[in-house]
Amino acid sequence: MGRSSDANPAGVTPEAASLSRIPFSMVETKEVDFLVIGAGIAGLRAAITLAGHGRVLAITKEQLGESNTSYAQGGIAVAMSGADDIAEHWADTRSAGDGLVDREAAEILVAEGPPRVGELLQWGTSFDRSAATGELQRTREGAHSRHRILHANGDATGAEIGRALLARAQTEPAIELMDWCTCTDLVQNDHGRVIGVRLLHRDGARLTVLARAVLLASGGAGEVYSDTTNPSVATGDGIAAAWRAGAAIADMEFYQFHPTAFSLAGAPRFLLSEALRGEGAWLRNDQGERFMERYHPLLELAPRDVVARAITREGMPLPSPAGGPPGVGRPVYLDLRHLAQAQPELELAARFPGISAFLARYGLLLSRDLIPVRPAAHYLMGGVETDRHGRTTLPGLFAAGEVACTGVHGANRLASNSLLEGLVFGARAAEAMLAEPPLDLTHVAPASGGVQASGGVQASADPLRPDAASIASIRRTLQAEMWRDAGLLRDAAGLNRALTCIDELALRARPIDASSSREATELANLLVLARLITRAALAREESRGAHFRNDFPQRDDQNFSKHSVCVGDEPVRFAERVL
């Protein structure tokens, strides 16, 4: 699979990484005050706030530390240089978002970012500092107007933030951390209020957890594509569960493809941080030409969607003579050799230790070699529709981080705003959750008869035990189809072909009990996510940000300067904001 897969990226000790304190064999239902699904930056930051106000349970699908947060290399964008920097950070965020950024959400992000990062510093987060002055080092990345990106350990910022937050959470006795649990569905009472979740432990045991408020902080869905920088846990579980429960899902057509994932046969699509281009790396095609001047005046520091499409076009196969079959794609390279020659004191291996160690496995050096790259699915701008406090359209349900759609990223996320979003809106969601009423179990709806596998497709009355080979085969086919027809470059014919394929795969998956194993649940969720992405992409007949239609290559503000919204199987509609 195309993903980076280094084990235990956050450096969590084996003892800390196995904190399933609740013995499944002893309890089938548990009540807490607050339930957090996910233990990345948004979930842990929320749990820390909630801990002073009741019992908190935070669950994660694998060991603690395994989340998209821990794979974030580039850094965290934060305006710590005063009012001018805050204003410029907002302007950069708005510009990158290509006309769809929610103004108030972006203002909250940039204004509340500095004090939230200040908390991280108080809690022991070790951001990189100047050896000479001791001041925080700031770098610049694509579409930023100034140096405002903080890093940790060169290219392991997310892992360091995750480590610090986990250590802080473990000091709170009110927080229980439970790993190796998959959320199969939300629990609602007969008024539609979300009052808990159903969990499946890796040993096959089941648990229902009830809470006065539930936060989805379960991350993104890069596994819907064959090529992704995400870890294997990123299967859109929170979005799919919210959709099944009837929540509004927004902006699913906007999937960001990182321009520079490592591209070598047999190697994972390891992320090669935007910070490389921030330091001055160039992009070259197979002729050795720097080509970004043909696409954007900011060259290699153009917005990610522009750079990703430029690399894709430069890497397309040349036309075959006499109408023959297309050739293989042409290589595109990241080049830092000129930096090593001009600034030998830069010490690229020390500046980017994680990336350098990865490349060394394949005999490559940043200072000596051209590094082959191509885009890969990286970040979902859409998700569960929320207001500025993490409230969804379902009472009792909140969302923060990549699983949520606050509108802060618009159609294209500004580099290094993702960690900041999880930090800021995780805290805001927690504060809003405190206002929820005590748990009322007098109107609990009966348990559902099965988990929907895709748009309206229900597990059969006589489900089969999951066949691992069948599930894996369906998953690979889905990922390849989504990459081909609902990926970086789209058109109506390809998107309709993708929908047909998704329907056929859903029928193949129908005999499988979607709640019987983690793999079966993930497949059901990926089918939901694929359909949501494809339907929204087909409905938006324009090109904007990360969504590019070959058949509608221009931005259309008259008809589409709005957000796409999906609720159940209703037709996609466009609205200013639901919340």
Question: What sign has the CA pseudo-torsion 385, 505, 473, 523?
Answer: positive
pLDDT of res. 360:
96
pLDDT of res. 512:
87
pLDDT tens readout for residues 54-89: 999 999 998 776 665 655 666 899 999 888 899 999
Separation of alpha carbons 250 and 278, rounded Å: 31
pLDDT tens readout for residues 393-416: 999 999 999 999 999 999 999 989
Query: If you count them, how many residues does the chain have?
Result: 579
- What phi, psi does 507 have (nearest 5°)? -65, -40
pLDDT tens readout for residues 529-538: 999 999 999 9
Q: Which residue has the higher pLDDT, 383 or 266?
A: 383
Residues 129-135, mean pLDDT to the nearest whole number: 90
Structure-derived torsion over alpha carbons of residues 64, 66, 67, 70, reported in degrees to the nearest 10: 100
Q: Which residue has the higher pLDDT, 69 or 334?
A: 334
Is the pLDDT score of 8 beyond 50? no
pLDDT of res. 455:
34
Facing residues of 261 across strands? 271, 374
pLDDT of res. 10:
40
Separation of alpha carbons 26 and 5, rounded Å: 34
- Catalytic center residues: 304
pLDDT tens readout for residues 22-65: 444 444 889 999 999 999 999 999 999 999 999 999 999 987 76
Is the pLDDT score of 2 beyond 90? no
pLDDT of res. 337:
95
> Please, which pLDDT band fits residue 322 given cuts at 50, 70 and 90?
low
> Please, which pLDDT band fits residue 3 given cuts at 50, 70 and 90?
very low
Burial profile 541-552: b = 16 or more Cβ within 10 angstroms, e = fewer: ebbbbbbbbeeb
Residues 543-571, mean pLDDT to the nearest whole number: 96
Is the pLDDT score of 461 beyond 70? no
Residues 476-497, mean pLDDT to the nearest whole number: 97
CB atoms within 10 A of CB 312: 19
Is the pLDDT score of 287 beyond 70? yes
Proportion of the chain above pLDDT 90, given as a percent: 72
| Both tokens assigned to 129 | 């500092």
* Strand intervals (E) in 211-365: 213-216, 249-250, 255-262, 282-284, 332-335
If you average pLDDT over every residue of the chain, what do you get?
A: 88
Residues 497-525, mean pLDDT to the nearest whole number: 93
> Please, which pLDDT band fits residue 21 given cuts at 50, 70 and 90?
very low
pLDDT of res. 101:
96
Separation of alpha carbons 307 and 471, rounded Å: 35
Separation of alpha carbons 215 and 46, rounded Å: 8
Is the pLDDT score of 388 beyond 60? yes
> Please, which pLDDT band fits residue 250 given cuts at 50, 70 and 90?
very high
Residues 140-165, mean pLDDT to the nearest whole number: 89
* Nearest C-alpha neighbor of 39 from the set 175, 242, 152, 144: 175
Residues 253-271, mean pLDDT to the nearest whole number: 93
To which residue do tokens 């430029």 refer?
Answer: 310
Q: Flag the least confident range among 408-422, 452-466, 505-519.
A: 452-466
Is the pLDDT score of 353 beyond 70? yes
Residues 259-267, mean pLDDT to the nearest whole number: 93
**Alpha helices, H only, 295-417:** 304-314, 337-342, 348-351, 353-360
| Both tokens assigned to 517 | 């194993």
Identify the structural domains of the chain with CATH numbers, from first to last: 30-218+234-242+394-442 (3.50.50.60), 262-317+327-376 (3.90.700.10), 452-539 (1.20.58.100)
Residues 455-477, mean pLDDT to the nearest whole number: 65
Is the pLDDT score of 176 beyond 90? yes
Residues 308-317, mean pLDDT to the nearest whole number: 90
DSSP string, 474-488: HHHHHHHHHHHHSSS
